[in-house]
Amino acid sequence: MVTFPGSLDDGDARRAVGLAGAEAVALWHGDHDLRGVDAVILPGGFSYGDYLRSGAIARFAPVMAEVVAAARGGMPVLGICNGFQVLCESHLLPGALIRNHHRKFVCRDQRLKIENASTSWTHDYVTGEEVTLVLKNGEGAYVADLATLDRLEGEGLVVARYLGDDPNGSMRAIAGITTERGNVVGLMPHPEHAVDSLCGPGTGGLPFFTSVLQSLAASAPAASAGTPPPQGPPPLQGHSSGRELVL
Amino acid sequence: MTETQTRQLDTVAHAQEHPDVAQPWAELGLKSDEEAHLREILGRRPTSSELAMYSVMWSEHCSYKSSKVHLRRFGEQVTDAMRKHLMVGIGENAGVVDIGQGYAVTFKVESHNHPSYIEPYQGAATGVGGIVRDILSMGARPVAVMDALRFGPLEAPDTQRVLPGVVAGVGGYGNCLGLPNIGGETVFDPSYAGNPLVNALCVGVMRHEDIHLANASGTGNQIILYGATTGGDGIGGVSILASEAFDTQGSARRPSVQVGDPFMEKLLIECTLEVFAEHLVAGIQDLGGAGLSCATSELASAGDGGMHVWLDRVPLRDESLAPEEILMSESQERMMAVVEPAHVSRFLEICAKWDVDATVIGEVTDTGRLVIEWYGDTVVDVPPRTVASEGPVYERPFARPIWQDSLQAGDASTLPRPTTGEGLRATVLQLVASPNLCDKSWITNQYDRYVQGNTVLAQPEDAGILRVDEQSGLGIAVSTDCNGRFAKLDPFTGAQLALAESYRNVATAGARPLAVTDCLNFGSPEDPDVMWQFAEATRGLSQGCEALGIPVTGGNVSFYNQTGAEPILPTPVVGVLGVIDDVTRRTPIGFTTEGQQIYLLGTTRDELSGSEWAHVAHGHLGGLPPVVDLEMEAQLADLLINASRDGLIDAAHDLADGGLAQALVESCLRYDVGARVWLPDELDPFVALFSESTARVIVAVPRSEEVRFTDMCAARRFPHVRMGVTDGRGDDAVLEVQECFSVSLAELRAAWSATLPTAFDD
Amino acid sequence: MPRVIVEVMPKPGILDPQGKAVLGAMPRLGFGGVVDVRQGKRFELELAEEVTEDQLAQVRQVAEALLSNPVIEDYTVRVEAS
Amino acid sequence: MPRVIVEVMPKPGILDPQGKAVLGAMPRLGFGGVVDVRQGKRFELELAEEVTEDQLAQVRQVAEALLSNPVIEDYTVRVEAS
Ligand SMILES: Nc1ncnc2c1ncn2[C@@H]1O[C@H](COP(=O)(O)OP(=O)(O)O)[C@@H](O)[C@H]1O
Ligand SMILES: [Mg+2]
């Protein structure tokens, strides 16, 4: 879990990771290594205040060099909201996120359709599944040139799309995209705010955090899978889990 | 430094040698008797720096000189019952309340009205920033904000300018700090045209042992200024000093608007909490209105009484600032800490980690004087208490306005009322679409209510609820309310009605009310009519708090809210804080399940004077406001808290503006669940639907709990009547008032939700 | 097409958090020669017809009322050489 | 002090919600002669020393990497005549 100065939803994402049964490891923007984590989440917020362009300055944080290298090497990386913006600014994902078409910050419960349930972060969904997550952003309109959009569509790299009326002016209602390998996902809405129905609109976001456990378990070499797979649903606290995953 | 050096610096020595220099007292807002008093204190004329400090600290805004005598009531009427949960009372940056399990909560509401009129975005943003620093300086982690807003008529051109800016500013700052916005109010009335109100509330949480107070004790302790650099923000007024006394170059054009940097504030919060956690701080104060003048004099007068400051060490954004201007600057995102010498280096280290500038600018002394030096010359040498706490106090004359009787005589009973089902139906639709009752999500959707993941209830609920402890489920609830029309009809009752509504909202959500904060927005205190309104409102509020057994822990007074001779409606905004042992037991307003019984609790009378109906349908304001019965409010609160704890009710919504009709509509629209209701036989349907009698709520009771629930009401002899059932959901759901009318939720929603988007979206 | 440029910059002395953020990021990119950065806005207005004095006066009004906030910003208007 | 100006504008074809809003508001202000508006950013960089070719090249790098996002924006760099 990378915290930049100005990150805000890192605590929530940490909670979600715990609920999914993994352990969250705090990474600071100035870190020069990833401390052996198995996957990285770039949380929401306003990194460095985001006065210039969302994610523009965070991209140059020392830790991002490590994240980019790890992502290119296949490590699962999820960028949520500001994290998505950072991934685009870092050119790990194509396109850009610009000011919402209505020029206001928007915070609302948002219905989405999961378009690709085969990425590292969406395994536990079914393609076509509809979920409600929290959407909150000021610069959330996804834009790219036509060739890029067509390529994303053609190769099935659109991960999620907005349903209902247009919340921010994203082209083709794109809410999230992934890379060819499916390990890097950028998502505008916040799955970490939809993991317990007391403080969010249901639990529709939890599969993002459980999916990555599955994909890591599946791809883990036999040697590192020394602990037996867990029985039954994951426990609420990460440490007692049989899974060795560290986020 | 060039410009300032070429000026003749007005040092203390210079002031002694040149007693007869003309100084711009009047322009700085000091009265001639205040001038005389000041000379008496100092035994000479003040230097221009001293004059800057006194003029701003003795201003209405900082000294409470007109309100002090009335505010004393809040402190005097604290009973043992109130004291039970009170850890820090009125007079500190913010009061602190014990909520149990070792947690303490601090909360306060503050106005930023005038700056928000001049520059809506920055005015509102820095209003949020200021109240957040207040809470932070108590040692607490800020956990949520709320905003109580008042604007002129929705369609007025100036509202089109002010409202979007204010809302974007509240959101822009709070969102960037990662503080969920959990509620507030938005009210429109012609009296606020040209004088909008922006009242911002912040809540903070800490452990009991973490409370910090603003005082500078311990001779030799170091004074550290940290945060943003100091610029020429907010010093429009004092620039006269620098320019008139010295030269006419430059400084007179200094901006009087403050610009906020929420990212800096976020760093300031994290950095401050870290220095608290390491116990490096002996005293702390935020810099708000009156900047360094206020922080240095308040810290010094609350401590050992002496402080020496090297003003030239203050890091500047604008090197041309004169000492007077530095003392007055209201640059945002700054704090001042008193730190033992041994802790200074660690303190600075933590600041550096967070990229926060920190500078030792002074130290605590035992001289009993606040001495400020500028490149070796003394420019200020004063007893700090005379600046901070012993300013002038006025017993402003007040008198019941001559128009009050005729206002109260012209009540709403003569206004034509709808009598047919069709007429009632049309009135419901008209009211739900009216600016004060319509859907506020155009506003609240610009606020992040989810961040931190502890928001259990937020807008459009009766109260915001936050989880404080994830393990135990301990939480807090906050609501802010005020009906200015009621306060105009009768300020004493109006203030109690504001308190009653806020108290009821907290209890309706399932929490036990514990404490009160208030923001008293009024016109000019020099107008005896206004002063009477103020005196009555404070009297009403303090007596109300006594009756309910909850103390006022802090607040803010904003005077001079008027356009020309026309003051705003008296607007004593009341915020109530409550505690809830288990947030999973909170009661939301929305009907969720079909087939539940709807009960109306409380007594309905023909009370329509000052109502939303009179306002919307007839543009009428006259008569007496609804009767307040605080005894009933307390009983109702107790009933609701117990019903929620025992799981007897699934939804509850208090009846306020717009009466029963509005409450039903809101409960139905929340989750698109319809209702079939019948009105009590003994009441005229119009009165039943639109009266604004107090101490009433509607609740939804699952059939399985109905007997227990009614037994509970009966045992407490609380008036309750079954008046309907939840029925139908989704697209075909309707609100049916039997023998009157039926209206589909779709039609209601269309009317209710279109108003703000139509007004503000291009 | 004739084009008028309106440039809006924060007034001197007014805090400019955006410029400050950029200035703070420069050294991280290895660029040390900058001592101050101010960030403002730039508007390109395409006009239907050739720019008259009259129109320019109108643009100035728009710049004052809409494009800038005179309390905290200054603006300049100029016709772009085409 | 020597000053370099960087101007960043949305690429043609890229949605510019702010420019669009300004364009939409113009007629309401009684100004009808504008057919298009684009809104971009303007940076004023104050350099410590006189601007060398080398420094200008560096500023161009900063403009490319930080001040603009080449996916959606174009930039220009110029030295301000002092
Ligand atoms: N400016 C605002 N900021 C935040 N919340 C607001 C604002 N205006 C209204 N709300 C929310 O909208 C809902 C309806 O407001 P209101 O009718 O005043 O409620 P009530 O009468 O119960 O106090 C409440 O949840 C309130 O907190
Ligand atoms: Mg209410």
Determine if the pTM surpasses 0.90: yes
User: How far is residue A75's CA from residue A216's CA, in Å, rounded to a whole number?
Assistant: 9
> Cβ of D1: how many Cβ atoms within 10 Å?
10
For residue A17, being part of any structural domain is answered with yes
Contact A45, A82 (CB under 8 A): yes
Nearest to D49 among C33, C41, C47 (CB): C33
Q: What is the pLDDT at residue A108?
A: 96
**Shortest Cα distance from C18 to chain A (angstroms)?**
5
Residue nearest to atom 17 of ligand 1 (CA): B437
ipTM of the complex in this document? 0.91
Nearest to B446 among A6, A49, A104 (CB): A104
Q: What is the pLDDT at residue B254?
A: 55
Question: H-type helices in chain C, by residue range?
Answer: 17-25, 53-62
Q: What is the pLDDT at residue B429?
A: 98
Q: What is the pLDDT at residue A240?
A: 32
Q: Give A238's DSSP letter.
A: S
- Integer CA distances (angstroms), B159 to B188, B230, B445, B619, in order: 9, 32, 19, 19
> Cβ of B755: how many Cβ atoms within 10 Å?
20
Amino acid at B150: R
- Integer CA distances (angstroms), B379 to B12, B62, B370, B680, in order: 5, 22, 11, 74
Question: Averaged over C16-35, what is the pLDDT?
Answer: 88
Q: What is the pLDDT at residue D15?
A: 83
Does residue B178 sit in helix, strand or coil? Answer: coil
Q: What is the pLDDT at residue A238?
A: 31
> Cβ of B319: how many Cβ atoms within 10 Å?
9
Compute, in angstroms, the gap from residue B653 CA to the centroid of ligand 2: 6
Nearest to B231 among C15, C24, C71 (CB): C15
Is pLDDT above 90 for D1?
no
- Integer CA distances (angstroms), B460 to B176, B465, B483, B755, in order: 22, 12, 18, 16
- The first and second tokens of residue B236, run together, are 């429009």
Q: Which ligand is nearest to the CA of B443?
A: 1
Give which of B44, B1, B307, B265 is closest to B137, Cα–Cα: B265
Q: What is the pLDDT at residue B292?
A: 93
B242 contacts: CB under 8 Å, gap ≥ 6: B48, B251, B252, B322, B324, B325
User: How far is residue B662's CA from residue B651's CA, in Å, rounded to a whole number?
Assistant: 15
Give which of B332, B247, B258 is closest to B48, Cα–Cα: B247
For residue B598, being part of any structural domain is answered with yes
Q: How many domains does chain C have?
A: 1
Is pLDDT above 50 for C60?
yes
Q: Does D23 touch chain A (CB under 8 A)?
A: no
Chain C residues closer than 8 Å to A61 by CB: 28
Closest alpha carbon within chain B to D24? B762
For residue B319, being part of any structural domain is answered with yes
User: How far is residue B652's CA from residue B598's CA, in Å, rounded to a whole number?
Assistant: 9
Residue A139 annotated to the active site: no
Q: Per-residue pLDDT tens for D6-62?
A: 999 999 888 888 999 889 888 888 888 889 999 999 999 999 888 888 889 999 999
User: How far is residue B441's CA from residue B430's CA, in Å, rounded to a whole number?
Assistant: 18
Ion ligand 2 neighbours, Cβ < 5 Å = B 462, 505, 654
**Over its length of 247 residues, how does chain A's per-residue pLDDT go in tens digits?**
999 999 999 999 999 999 999 999 999 999 999 999 999 999 999 999 999 999 999 999 999 999 999 999 999 999 999 999 999 999 999 999 999 999 999 999 999 999 999 999 999 999 999 999 999 999 999 999 999 999 999 999 999 999 999 999 999 999 999 999 999 999 999 999 999 999 999 999 999 999 999 888 887 654 333 344 333 333 333 333 333 334 4
Give which of B557, B420, B574, B566 is closest to B497, Cα–Cα: B574
| Strands B597-601, B562-563: pairing kind | unpaired
Residues of D with CB under 8 A from a CB of B: 21, 24-25
The CATH number given to whatever domain includes residue D44 is 3.30.1280.10
Q: Give A8's DSSP letter.
A: -
CB B656 less than 6 A from any atom of ligand 1: yes
The CATH number given to whatever domain includes residue A29 is 3.40.50.880
Contact B553, B90 (CB under 8 A): yes
Q: Per-residue pLDDT tens for B561-590?
A: 998 889 999 999 999 999 999 999 999 999
Ranges of chain B whose pLDDT falls below 70? 1-7, 236-255
Does residue B117 sit in helix, strand or coil? Answer: helix
Inter-chain residue contact C22 with A52, CB threshold 8 Å:
yes
**B356, B382, B408 - which closes a domain:** B382
Give which of B311, B316, B136, B131 is closest to B223, Cα–Cα: B311
Q: What is the pLDDT at residue C71?
A: 84
- Long-range CB pairs of A162-165 (<8 Å, 24+ gap) are A162/A110, A162/A111, A162/A112, A162/A135, A163/A111, A163/A112, A163/A113, A163/A130, A164/A110, A164/A111
- Integer CA distances (angstroms), C14 to A53, A174, B3, B259, B543, in order: 21, 38, 19, 7, 45
Compute, in angstroms, the gap from residue B674 CA to the centroid of ligand 2: 20
Q: What is the pLDDT at residue C51?
A: 84
CB B443 less than 6 A from any atom of ligand 1: yes
Name the residue with tokens 């452990």: B207
Positive or negative: CA dihedral B601, B606, B609, B611: positive
Question: Domain range holding B340?
Answer: 23-58+212-382
Q: Max CA-CA distance within chain C?
A: 48
Give the per-residue SS3 of chain D: CCEEEEEEEECCCCCCHHHHHHHHHCHHHCCCCEEEEEEEEEEEEEECCCCCHHHHHHHHHHHHHHHCCCCCEEEEEEECCC
Residues of C with CB under 8 A from a CB of B: 10-17, 20-21, 24, 69, 71-72
Does residue B244 sit in helix, strand or coil? Answer: helix
**B352, B382, B412 - which closes a domain:** B382
CB pairs under 8 A between B and C: 43
| Strands A27-28, A2-3: pairing kind | parallel
User: How far is residue B351's CA from residue B649's CA, in Å, rounded to a whole number?
Assistant: 50
DSSP state string for B671-682: HTEEEEE---TT
A96 strand-pairing partners: A143
Report the run of H or E that residue C48 belongs to, with start and end.
none
User: How far is residue A37's CA from residue B179's CA, in Å, rounded to a whole number?
Assistant: 29
Question: Domain range holding D41?
Answer: 3-80
- Long-range CB pairs of B485-488 (<8 Å, 24+ gap) are B485/B189, B485/B569, B485/B610, B485/B615, B485/B621, B485/B625, B486/B610, B486/B625, B486/B626, B487/B533, B487/B537, B487/B569, B487/B570, B487/B571, B487/B572, B488/B407, B488/B533, B488/B569, B488/B570, B488/B610, B488/B621
The CATH number given to whatever domain includes residue B655 is 3.90.650.10
Q: How crowded is the C-beta side of B636, counted as CA atoms within 13 Å?
A: 30
Q: How many domains does chain A have?
A: 1
Chains that touch C (3 or more CB pairs under 8 A): A, B, D
Q: What is the pLDDT at residue B452?
A: 95
Question: H-type helices in B194-343, by residue range?
Answer: 239-245, 262-277, 291-302, 323-328
Amino acid at B322: A
Whats the size of chain A, residue-wise? 247
| First-last CA distance in chain C | 8
Residue A81 annotated to the active site: yes
Residues of B with CB under 8 A from a CB of A: 168, 171-172, 175-178, 261-264, 266-267, 354-355, 441, 444-456, 467, 583-584, 761
User: How far is residue B561's CA from residue B580's CA, in Å, rounded to a whole number?
Assistant: 36
User: How far is residue B368's CA from residue B364's CA, in Å, rounded to a whole number?
Assistant: 10
Q: What is the pLDDT at residue B236?
A: 58
**B382, B404, B419 - which closes a domain:** B382
Q: How many domains does chain B have?
A: 2
Give which of B202, B204, B207, B198 is closest to B145, Cα–Cα: B202
- Which atom belonging to ligand 1 lies closest to the Cα atom of B461? 25
